[in-house]
Amino acid sequence: MPTVHVNLADRSYDVIVERGILSHAAKEILGAGLKGKCAVISDQNVASLYAPALLENLGRHCIDATLHVIPAGEASKSLAAANDLCQELATQGHDRKSFVIALGGGVVGDLAGFVASIFYRGIPFVQIPTTIVSLVDSSVGGKTGVNLVAGKNLVGSFHQPRLVLVDPETLSSLAQREYRQGMAEVIKHAAIRDAEMLHEIAAINPQSRYLSDVLIARNIAIKARVVEVDEQETLGVRALLNFGHTIGHGIEASVDYGQLLHGEAISLGMRAALFLSEKYASLPHEASLLLTQIQMKFDLPMVLDQSISTESIMKKILRDKKFSAGKIQFILLAQLGNAIVSSSVNLTDMEEAIEWIRQPLPINCESGYNGKG
Ligand code: GLY
């Protein structure tokens, strides 16, 4: 089974990728030194599918588990939900010797990780991600948090998981749109660090929903290597993971919840970042087209709707916590597989890029890329 080790001194951990691991998770959890009482936090969609097998396996290995189910969706990523969970954990007898298991997608992982980081001033937690976005991205790296009315992820902590268990079989239950948005993050990781992987992604049949364990592990390893050198995003290296996210977040924040999923907005943000990469990082136009074709192959949105105004996107971008220091650190591609942090991009450039992605795609993108050549 492919295992990615995340090397962070005394906060190091393994990400184990194995089909069916959900039903024998206890062995790995005990192997990571966790035992006793645990709180499994999941959501209404995921709990009914996967919690019974997990709880049965934990029980058989004398891990005393309580189940805590939150409503599915971004609204659960709130201080109120974190407060309710802490209360529940306390009333159900959890204490500093307990640990948390996050079973679900990004919302569950971020919230459960945050709860683990504050309950009794911090208890260990295990991530069991069940969506593509969460398994290649949010479950690894220790970012936890909740949203405020003022913005997403404005309250949180760095709290690394003790173990991440990835069961690729959970991907078969994903809705088509969830699969599609997840592929945007898979493509993003390859785009910033591994051009060869982009060709492999392009050769995947999007209808199959199949991602090999090895490809998943390699994609996770891209994130792991970045986190190892810049755990708390202070050196400008972890920021590379934000390729497509500056304008993407602005777009996501400008629409009603659900109109564009995170990965869909990031896909539009990547197209804008490609435009700026050609302008400021000498990215060859053919490389830009190739990435665009791969995004299109997975049916990701590439053309920004006229109803979303540039003014509103720019307002959200300027409110983004990434701009708190007043400086724009924009992630560009110098080549496929080589992302850089640039300070050349100004606000007018971003407005131009937002206008650019309203344009229909060039004809030679429409044919779709099949991974050959
Ligand atoms: N998703 C970006 C990061 O974890 O830094």
User: Residue 73 pLDDT more than 60?
Assistant: yes
Report which ligand 1 atom has the smallest distance to the Cα of 239: 5
Kind and range of the H or E element at 278? helix 262-280
Q: Which of 137, 188, 225, 321 best tests ligand 1's pocket when mutated (most atoms within 8 Å of CB)?
A: 137
Report the alpha-carbon distance of residue 278 to residue 228 in Å, rounded: 29
**The tokens of 180 are what?**
């599609």
The pLDDT tens digits for 301-313 are: 999 999 999 999 9
CA angle 56, 215, 302 (to 5 degrees): 105
Report which ligand 1 atom has the smallest distance to the Cα of 185: 1
The pLDDT tens digits for 157-166 are: 999 999 999 9
CB of 241 within 6 A of ligand 1: the answer is yes
For each of the domains in the chain, give its residue range(s) and CATH number, in order of start. Answer: 3-172 (3.40.50.1970), 175-366 (1.20.1090.10)
Q: For ligand 1, atom 2, which residue shows the shortest CA distance?
A: 241
The pLDDT of 246-267, averaged and rounded, is 92
User: Residue 373 pLDDT more than 50?
Assistant: no
The pLDDT tens digits for 133-192 are: 999 999 999 999 999 988 889 999 999 999 999 999 999 889 989 999 999 999 999 999
User: Residue 62 pLDDT more than 90?
Assistant: yes
Strands (E), the chain: 3-6, 13-17, 37-43, 64-70, 99-104, 125-129, 143-148, 151-158, 163-166, 330-335, 338-342
Can you state the angle between helices 262-280 and 176-193, rounded to 10 degrees? 30
CA angle 260, 337, 232 (to 5 degrees): 70
